[in-house]
Amino acid sequence: MEFDINPRNARNWSRIGSRGVYGLAMYEAAKSDPSVLAVSADLGKSSGLDRLAADFSGQFVNCGIAEQNMVSFSAGLSRAGFKVFASSFAPFIAMRASEQVRMNLGYMEEPVKLVAIGSGLAMGFLGNSHYGIEDLAVMRSIPNMTVVSPADCAEIFKGVEAAKSYSFPLYIRLTGAVNNPVVYQEDYDFRIGRIIQLSKGADVTILASGTMVAAALQAAEKLREAGADVGVVNVHTVTPLDQEGIRQLFSETRRIVTVEEHTLVGGLGSAIAEFKADENLSAPMLRLGIRDKFVKTGDYAYLLVDNGLDADAIARSIANWMEI
């Protein structure tokens, strides 16, 4: 699969947004590998797959608005030897079809790649029926499932490329909308199950996933202006955790903060807290995310601010916690 991570492409991909870039990545994957299939729950255009469907019609299947059938159908295609990427909105895959994911993918160990578009708060005015803010908690609880949340559009390309040859069931969580914040402007090493340390900090290290990686980088700059030594880590793989990498972080920094566009119940913060407890790690920890509630309906940018997930609010929360 051919793609070039550079500043110009990063800007263009940002304008297109996560869904459109997923479509571009899948187009390249299908073009280079005839065993790649794109399966959709009647969201081909919304998933950016319309060009793939037109040019490689034999590698695109529309299952209709039937996510449970889509997951089971995809498992059968996987058993037949195809590399299946099945996409729909996050709550419809993770919650409506959770039984099928649990039995046909987790239990049967079929390496289907589920792609959740519009995860987090990106669905804006469509409201709580379409927000994907509990999906990590559901997918993390299913044995044999791997959960990846790309930091930006470049990492979507990286994630799709890595997923093609990945031999376990995989849930790819796409956050953000158009004008997605840019994290990567040059090529880098991406491996499922390995954290990426973007900067080091002795005072505090922020662990983030999805679009919150860019927000964490911006918040870190504000905290540095206040005199704090701040590191940022991209935890793109939430399950399974990079235990060696996380353990090392706890030994190198005085404090750990997690930031996620997900409820605080069962997501990245929970995964890190569980690991901290199991390993008896001593660094104090702060979890930032969406409180255990149904959130308002509104514009995506407004929802981030209202839930304390913009860079300014993240920096304030950490500064108050550190008393700086």
CATH number of 196-322: 3.40.50.920
Domain spans, the chain: 7-175, 196-322
Structural tokens at position 167: 């031999």
Between β-strands 256-263 and 237-239, what pairing exists: parallel, antiparallel or unpaired?
unpaired
Angle at 279 between CA 274 and CA 283, to 5 degrees: 85
264-to-94, 162, 175, 189, 272 alpha-carbon distances in Å? 17, 28, 16, 29, 11
**Equal fold, 7-175 vs 196-322:** yes
Mean pLDDT of 268-295: 97
CA nearest to 126, candidates 56, 43, 191, 202: 43
Q: At residue 2, does pLDDT exceed 90?
A: no
The reported pLDDT for the residue numbered 272 is 98
Gap between the Cα atoms of 257 and 315, Å rounded: 11
Provide the angle, in degrees to the nearest 10, between the axes of the packed helices 243-252 and 268-279: 80
Mean pLDDT of 121-135: 95
Give CATH superfamily name and number for 7-175. Answer: Thiamin diphosphate (ThDP)-binding fold, Pyr/PP domains (3.40.50.970)
The reported pLDDT for the residue numbered 233 is 98
Q: 45: Cβ–Cβ under 8 A, 6 or more apart, which residues?
A: none
DSSP-derived 3-state class of residue 15: helix
Mean pLDDT of 121-138: 96
The reported pLDDT for the residue numbered 46 is 84
Gap between the Cα atoms of 287 and 289, Å rounded: 7
Global pTM reads 0.96
Structural tokens at position 40: 């959709």
Instruction: Please give the mean pLDDT across all residues of the chain.
Output: 96
Q: Alpha helices, DSSP H only, in the chain?
A: 7-32, 50-55, 67-79, 90-91, 98-100, 135-140, 153-164, 212-225, 243-252, 268-279, 300-306, 311-322
Rounded to whole angstroms, the maximal C-alpha distance in the chain is 59
CA dihedral 162, 173, 303, 219 (to 10 degrees): -40
Percent of the chain with pLDDT over 70: 99
DSSP letters spanning 33-61: -TTEEEEESS-TTTTT-HHHHHH-GGGEE
Mean pLDDT of 252-261: 98
Mean pLDDT of 278-291: 96
Q: At residue 284, does pLDDT exceed 70?
A: yes
Contact criterion met (CB below 8 Å) for 109 and 41? no
Residue 148: what are its φ and ψ, rounded to 5°? -125, 135
CA nearest to 92, candidates 111, 112, 64: 64
CA nearest to 182, candidates 25, 2, 13: 13
Q: pLDDT (tens digit, 9 = 90+) per residue, 211-251?
A: 999 999 999 999 999 999 999 999 999 999 999 999 999 99
Q: pLDDT (tens digit, 9 = 90+) per residue, 40-55?
A: 999 988 888 999 999 9
Q: At residue 1, does pLDDT exceed 80?
A: no
DSSP letters spanning 224-257: HHTT--EEEEE--EEES--HHHHHHHHHH-S-EE
| Residue entry with tokens 């995506």 | 300
Structural tokens at position 119: 């995860």
